[in-house]
Structure formats: C-alpha cells, structure tokens
C-alpha cells in the first residue's frame, strides 16, 4: 500500500516520537495528520519526555548513535529546538567527539565541597541536556501552525487499531476510541512508548515497559544561581543529577540501576502501571541519591526528596529503536517504540526517519537495526541488563510496590 500526501494519517501518542513525526510529516507536505492522546495536556502526563531535562550525550561505544547525536545537535541549531538544548561547550568541530574515548580530560568532580571519596573521572565537554518537556510544547505549537489536528483527553483516548481483512492479510482502517468511535485513516502510527504492547500485542516479545525512579530537591534562588553551569554529574554506582532548573529551582536526581519492569504473570508481558501507582521513589534509590549528594553537594543531602516518580519507557534488549511497519498490516500500521532511555536528545530527527520509511520504494525501513525483529532473535525475561551503560539487574515493580505498601 502506498500512502499519498493527502491520505488521512493518525498518530497515536503525543510524546517525543509522536510529535516529532507529526512535525516532520507536516513539513514534508502531508496534509491530513491527526494526533490522539488520552491526556488533556502537552506534554502528556505519562510521557517519558515529560521532564525538565534529559541527558544529551554523544558518548557511545557504537559510532552509529554517536553520529546520530551529532546530527541532532546540528539540526537543533537551525530549527525551533535550539533554545532548549544546553551544552557545556562551544563545539566548533563536532566530529571530534568520535574520539572522545581517547581524548577525555580526567579530573575530580567535587566542586570544592564534597569528599567524592577519592573519585576519579573525566569531563566530556560535548555533553549537556535537553529540556524535553519544553521541546514537546514547542513541537506541539509548531505542528498546530502547520495544520496538524489534535484530539486530547477523553476525545483522544484510543482503545484499538481497527483492521479489516484484505488480500494481503489485514489492513488498518483507522482507530477505535475509548468512547466507541471509529476514526478512519489510511495509515496509523503507534507511538505510545511503554504502552506499545497494549495496541500492538505482537511487539511484546521485543519491547517491554521498563522504568527508573526520579526525585528532586528544591533550592533557593541563590543556590540555583551558585550551581548554574555545572555539568551533568554521573557517578557510576550511585546515579546522576543536572544543574538546577532556573524556572523551578529544582535539582533533578536519578539513581543508577538495572531498572524496573511490571510483568503480568499471566501473559509474561511488561506494561506500565497507572500514573498514580508510580508516584514514589524506592527507599534503596533514595539512599543512592542521598549518598550522591553527600559526596558532591553535602549541603543538600538532607533536603526533602520531592516530586518522586517512576518514569516508564519502552525498552529493547539491545537499546535499538523499532520504527517499522507492523508485519501483515499491508504497510498500514507503523510502530515507533523502544526509546530505551536514550532517545530524547534525538527529538529533532525522529520524525524524519518515519518520513524516510513512508517514502522508501521497497517499503522497508532503510536502517536495518530499526526494523521489526523476529521475536526468536530476542532473549526473554529481564532483557537489557547487558547493555554496557547500565548497571545492576532488573527488578519487578511488584517488589518495590509491596515494600512501599508495607512501610505505609
């Protein structure tokens, strides 16, 4: 099936992948795009990108993602997201970052206060963060100007992708909303992050809902000013934090670990729990971030940990994304998922990859690693634990939820 630029396209999900796709397709001349999301506001409440900051790093063992990050940086400087990216360098020759493993500057990261327990590390000057929540707002405003239609809240809640039988198996005819309305479309793009398997059950063997916890400490205006410009500080065994957000005076803290999954024992599929169930930080994670503060910013180590949450994302075993047609859908359904905790910095590029897929003459995803994979190629269970930049083993959400309940 070939999609023309006047055909109706529905994008389910108004997070990073969905909004970037709406933006790029509208720029490419697609004229009938509708975005559905069950939340009333942008950014959506449970979007992984609904955040004050996400790490912008180009330091990968795999040059493929290093080069993508550099490309994202280049694009962001000339498009609407330029003011949302904060790096700690005036980077004149970005390709040099490909040699960062050999050319890093090792130094202690103590800011002259905490003991840092004889830590050693390095400063990557091509690093920083993107204000991902504001990036989604910018994309939302830009796509509306380009004529993209939005259906949010009760009007945007999607129950199913609707198919009919065709000579080639099946073909999507649109979506069914939670209110029972069938909304027709020639192409349905599913970009619902950690909840992907709810609408595309056949993806459950290659993408799972996974999470890490997040908390914040609130600073005074003077404290925020004093810490302005500090780099993202990452301690391998404890976690990381960002410079304080100047608008809210919040310093965001993220413990490091293998993450949490929410596996249904009946199906073996991990899906995110409700937003309300996820509003806490496990006690052992609290201990990690307090130790991180004690080592680096000891004046903050006893501050209340506020705005605690478990942030859910879509994970694959190899951290590669999935941006491809759903098999046996006659090229009528595209799945975008598997951000794997490192896609926010690529918001300026993501939608262009979907455009390339739609315009591929052979209907194949041009980037092989982002194609739909045979589930037999994937290990089952707690995958992703072997990804080199992650530490620790995956834990079931039920374990930390039950531990929390027992403390109440």
Whole-angstrom distance, CA of residue 11 vs CA of residue 275: 22
d(CA 399, CA 263): 11
CATH class, range 1-53+131-207+318-377 = alpha beta
Kindly report, as residue ranges, where domains of CATH 3.50.50.60 are found in the chain: 1-53+131-207+318-377
Residue 390: DSSP 8-state: -
Tell me how far apart the alpha carbons of residues 265 and 270 are, in angstroms, rounded to a whole number.
9
What CATH number has the domain spanning 208-315+379-408? Answer: 3.30.9.10
Would you state the pLDDT for residue 77?
67
C-beta pairs of 266-273 under 8 Å, 24+ apart in sequence: 267/204, 268/204, 268/380, 269/197, 269/201, 269/204, 269/208, 270/208, 270/209, 270/210, 271/194, 271/195, 271/197, 271/198, 271/209, 272/46, 272/194, 272/195, 272/209, 272/211, 272/312, 273/397, 273/401
Domain with CATH 3.30.9.10 in the chain: 208-315+379-408
At 353 the pLDDT is 97
Residue-level pLDDT, tens digit, the chain, 408 residues:
789 999 999 999 999 999 999 999 999 999 999 999 999 999 999 999 999 999 888 888 889 999 999 898 888 766 665 555 555 443 444 444 444 433 332 333 334 467 777 788 888 877 788 888 999 999 999 999 999 999 999 999 999 999 999 777 899 999 999 999 999 999 999 999 999 999 999 999 999 999 999 999 999 999 999 998 888 999 989 999 999 999 999 999 999 999 999 999 999 999 999 999 999 999 999 999 999 999 999 999 999 999 999 999 999 988 999 999 999 999 999 999 999 989 999 999 999 999 999 999 999 999 999 999 876 544 444 545 555 556 678 999 999 987 765 554
What pLDDT, on a 0 to 100 scale, did the predictor assign at position 382?
A: 54
């Amino acid at each position: 099936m070939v999609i023309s630029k006047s055909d109706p396209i529905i994008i389910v999900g108004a997070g990073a992948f969905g909004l970037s796709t709406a933006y790029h397709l509208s720029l490419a001349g697609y004229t009938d795009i509708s975005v559905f999301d069950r939340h009333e506001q942008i950014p959506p409440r449970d979007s992984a990108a609904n955040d004050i900051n996400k790490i912008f790093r180009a330091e990968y063992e795999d040059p493929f993602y290093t080069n993508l990050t550099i490309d994202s940086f280049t694009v962001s400087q000339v498009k609407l997201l330029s003011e949302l990216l904060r790096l700690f360098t005036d980077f004149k020759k970005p390709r040099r970052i490909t040699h960062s493993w050999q050319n890093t500057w090792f130094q202690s990261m103590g800011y002259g206060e905490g003991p840092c327990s004889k830590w050693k590390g390095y400063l990557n000057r091509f690093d920083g963060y993107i204000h991902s929540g504001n990036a989604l707002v910018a994309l939302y405003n830009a796509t509306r100007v380009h004529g993209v239609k939005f259906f949010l809240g009760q009007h945007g809640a999607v129950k199913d992708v609707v198919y009919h039988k065709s000579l080639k198996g099946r073909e999507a005819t649109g979506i069914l909303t939670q209110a029972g309305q069938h909304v027709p479309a020639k192409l349905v793009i599913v970009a619902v992050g950690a909840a992907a398997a709810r609408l595309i059950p056949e993806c459950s063997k290659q993408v799972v809902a996974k999470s890490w916890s997040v908390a914040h400490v609130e600073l005074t205006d003077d404290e925020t000013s004093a810490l302005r410009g500090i780099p993202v500080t990452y301690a391998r065994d404890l976690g990381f934090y960002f410079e304080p957000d100047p608008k809210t005076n919040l310093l965001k803290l993220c413990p490091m670990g293998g993450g949490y999954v929410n596996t249904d024992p009946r199906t073996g599929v991990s899906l995110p729990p409700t937003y309300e169930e996820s509003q806490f930080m496990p006690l052992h994670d609290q201990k990690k971030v307090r130790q991180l503060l004690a080592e680096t910013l000891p004046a903050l180590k006893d501050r209340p940990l506020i705005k605690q949450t478990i942030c859910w994302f879509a994970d694959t075993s190899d951290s590669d994304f999935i941006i491809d047609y759903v098999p046996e859908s006659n090229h009528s359904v595209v799945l975008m998922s598997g951000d794997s905790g490192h896609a926010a910095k690529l918001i300026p590029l993501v939608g262009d990859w979907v455009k390339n897929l739609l315009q591929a003459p052979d209907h194949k995803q041009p980037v092989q690693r982002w194609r739909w994979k045979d589930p037999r190629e994937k290990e089952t269970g707690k995958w992703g634990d072997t990804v080199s930049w992650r530490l620790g083993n995956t834990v079931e959400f039920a374990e930390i939820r039950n531990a929390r309940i027992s403390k109440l």
